[in-house]
Amino acid sequence: MAASASALHLLPSSPAGFQPQQRRLRSNVRRQGGLTRRFSKVVSYYGLTTPPYKLDALEPYMSRRTVELHWGKHHQDYVDGLNKQLATSPLYGHTLEELIKEAYNNGNPLPEYNNAAQVWNHHFFWESMQPEGGGSPEGGVLQQIEKDFGSFTNFREEFIRSASQLLGSGWVWLVLKRTEKKLAVVHTRNAISPLAFGDIPIISLDLWEHAYYLDYKDDRRSYVTNFIDHLVSWHTVTLRMMRAESFVNLGEPTIPVA
């Protein structure tokens, strides 16, 4: 699956986003006019999305073993946990983005928040990378980074520094600030997503130990440095910037079509 600009709008029913799993939630038997009729209620849940590359394609910077465990167990667990909660939740039926904002509850998260945000964060994370990624962006993305950070080197250093400053589990992000209309690096604790604050995510990097311990032990800095230098997908970033630009009307420079 190619990296998709539609990742910013993941609808439960969208074939380009999270594929809903249709299950028969319950079946029952009713008698109508002396006839026995079996009926069922069909509902849609979120499914586990697949990274847009083979599980060993990010080696040597992220091992197949790490991706298998991270995606196949941890990401899957968040999907399963969310679906289990939604089966009895009044929040069922929202898009995932809406669900994250609703369940964030102005900083007093509802029980569904953690799983919902982690499902979205992980999907966004897998698509933030590509084999033979990294290096420097080009064109409009590079111009925007230079405009907002002074230089690409400054951005790279700020991303690594921000990740290093986060104590415990969380995420580091490149976001587009909707109000200020500029790029910024932020880190968030645990499952918190910038979506809850109205920022537009452009890059996410998982800073939970399960994301890097097998490959880097507790050397988080090397993990983050290799992500920026060898894994980040500037192609995906370009598509996301194009979409974000339409939201905030950045104006010049125009982000080119990749």
Considering the complex, state which of residue 127 and residue 206 has its C-beta at the smaller distance from Fe ion. 206
Site string for Fe ion, 113-142 (x = CB under 5 A): ------------------------------
Q: Taking CB under 5 A as the rule, does residue 206 contact Fe ion?
A: yes
Q: Of 44-52, 159-167, 184-192, 208-216, which part binds Fe ion (CB under 5 A)? A: 208-216
Helices (H), 2-138: 64-69, 76-86, 96-104, 113-126
Q: Is 122 annotated as a binding residue?
A: yes
User: What CA–CA distance (Å, rounded) separates 3 from 169?
Assistant: 26
Burial classification of residue 30, based on how many CB atoms lie within 10 Å of its CB (0-12 exposed, 13-18 middle, 19 or more buried): exposed
Q: Taking CB under 5 A as the rule, does residue 208 contact Fe ion?
A: yes
Residue 78 Cβ vs Fe ion, minimum distance, rounded to whole Å: 8
Considering the complex, state which of residue 44 and residue 76 has its C-beta at the smaller distance from Fe ion. 76
User: What CA–CA distance (Å, rounded) separates 8 from 175?
Assistant: 12
Residue 62 Cβ vs Fe ion, minimum distance, rounded to whole Å: 12
Which residues, other chains included, contact 58 with Cβ-Cβ below 8 Å and sequence gap of 6+?
Answer: 67, 129, 131, 231
Q: CB 105: neighbour CB atoms within 10 A?
A: 12
Considering the complex, state which of residue 145 and residue 163 has its C-beta at the smaller distance from Fe ion. 163
Residue 139: closest CA among 54, 253, 242, 9:
253
Q: Taking CB under 5 A as the rule, does residue 171 contact Fe ion?
A: no
| Spatial strand order in the sheet of 170-177 | 182-189, 170-177, 200-206
Residues 44-83 that bind Fe ion (CB under 5 A): none
| Site size with Fe ion, rule: CB under 5 A | 2
User: What CA–CA distance (Å, rounded) separates 174 from 138?
Assistant: 16
Considering the complex, state which of residue 120 and residue 149 has its C-beta at the smaller distance from Fe ion. 120
What residue ranges bind Fe ion (CB under 5 A)? 206, 208
Q: Which residue numbers belong to the known binding site for Mn(2+)?
A: 70, 122, 206, 210
Q: Which residue numbers belong to the known binding site?
A: 70, 122, 206, 210
